[in-house]
Structure 1
Amino acid sequence: MTGPPVRRTERLVLRQWGEADREPFAAMNADPEVMEHLPQPLDRAASDAMLDRLRATIEEQGWGPWAVEHAATRELIGFTGLAVPRHPLPFQPCVEVGWRLARAAWGHGFATEAAREALRVAFDELGLGEVVSFTVTGNVRSRAVMERIGMTRDPAGDFDHPALPVGHPQRRHVLYRVRPPAGGVRR
């Protein structure tokens, strides 16, 4: 039996998670700068549990939030992929595209490159009619990636994230949407 397909871009490999990914994934998830727009950094147990969930999702569906490795160095630099949100959101049902990269991988266009491949899978392989993405209002880096991959903000869809309590500074989120382009996604 073969595993889930490996996806490749010019500089990246999007693949299933392996045991060797645990340490770099935990280091990324413990970095306060990487986790600035999330409720809190993750300890090792929470990071390992997340990796297990991501791996199981890909195993079950054949797609999900893939481990992203730099093709030349084989180094894990983060994750990018597709997911069905775990919390009840006002615009569901939906599939979101998301990413998280280690600080050293920022500023090289890797999130954009990997997210474009995720959208190609969503539209060309899965036949989805729309993909969403959302983040904390102040996360300008992720919002810039959303715009670079052709997503448009839907201000009417902005929402308070139900996983965060009223008054939490990260509760307000912005919603972006994208539909498949005519002729499929271009890399």
Structure 2
Amino acid sequence: MDRQPTLETERLVLRPLAEADREPLYAVAGDPAVWEQHPIHDRWRRDVFDAFFDDGLASGGALAVTDKTTGAILGSTRYDKYDPEEGGVVEIGWTFLAPRHWGKGVNHEMKRAMLAHAFAHVALVEFRVGDTNYRSRNALEAIGAVRTDRYELEKYQGKRVVHLVYEITRESFASGPLS
């Protein structure tokens, strides 16, 4: 599965993240409101953002989300953890958008394209989201993701961070809200 495709929708182009995207993406990520419910709540800080951006570049799956008409950066997202065994699974996550694009269907449009691409190669897509990130949890449920009973524990700045695991199957996508 190509984890850095170029995907086009009616309003968006998702393309491989590049070093040249660092400053325009920081202009989006530098807004603390983007991260207020996220477990890594300080990604608006330059040093934390730069580490996040570098990790995205190194992942081989990070995408810049751009306006199809203007080319402006709206945010970023990523394909990660791809396993082709047993029908295949890939994780989608690390998504953030400028607040001015919240509630305008951009996430739905972006995820529809990403899921359609993924389901040409895998049977299952997983998402991990912080347990207190209600904005992202609601967004996942709105696109048809179902919370599993699995979770992962991490530490950030000495505090416990719980990530809940959501999933969408190829079959549920075909009949779900994004079909």
Question: TM-score surpassing 0.5?
Answer: yes
Tell me the alpha carbon deviations over residues 17-37 of structure 1, each in whole angstroms, 9 at most, x when there is no partner.
234422121122222110111
Structure 2 counterpart of 1:38, one-letter code: P
TM-score, normalised via structure 2 length = 0.77
The Cα of 1:115 is off from its aligned counterpart by 1.4
TM-score, normalised via structure 1 length = 0.74
2:162 paired residue number? 172
Q: What is the aligned residue count?
A: 166
1:35 paired residue number? 35
Map 1:24-103 → 2, pairs under 5 A: 24-36=24-36, 37-39=38-40, 40-58=42-60, 64-84=61-81, 95-98=90-93, 99-103=95-99
Whether the aligned pair in 1 keeps the contact of 2:146 and 2:166 (CA below 8 Å) is yes
- 94-103 or 110-119, which moves further after superposition? 94-103
1:108 paired residue number? 104
The Cα of 1:100 is off from its aligned counterpart by 0.8
Residues in 1 aligned to 2:31 and 2:106: alpha-carbon distance in whole angstroms: 18
Map 1:145-156 → 2, pairs under 5 A: 145-154=139-148, 156=149
Structure 1 counterpart of 2:56, one-letter code: L
Tell me the alpha carbon deviations over residues 129-160 of structure 1, each in whole angstroms, 9 at most, x when there is no partner.
21111212232221122112221111x2134x
RMSD: 2.8
The Cα of 1:94 is off from its aligned counterpart by 5.7
Tell me the alpha carbon deviations over residues 49-106 of structure 1, each in whole angstroms, 9 at most, x when there is no partner.
4334323433xxxxx2210001122110101231129xxxxxxx96321211112221
Whether the aligned pair in 2 keeps the contact of 1:79 and 1:101 (CA below 8 Å) is yes
Whether the aligned pair in 1 keeps the contact of 2:39 and 2:133 (CA below 8 Å) is no
The Cα of 1:108 is off from its aligned counterpart by 0.9
Segments of 4+ moved more than 6 angstroms: none
Q: Check 1:19–1:173 CA distance in 2 against 1; reply closer, same or farther (3 A cut).
A: closer
Residues in 1 aligned to 2:96 and 2:126: alpha-carbon distance in whole angstroms: 16
Whether the aligned pair in 2 keeps the contact of 1:80 and 1:111 (CA below 8 Å) is no
The Cα of 1:166 is off from its aligned counterpart by 6.6
The Cα of 1:14 is off from its aligned counterpart by 0.4
Residues in 1 aligned to 2:21 and 2:97: alpha-carbon distance in whole angstroms: 13
Q: Check 1:167–1:41 CA distance in 2 against 1; reply closer, same or farther (3 A cut).
A: closer
Structure 1 or 2: larger strand share? Answer: 2
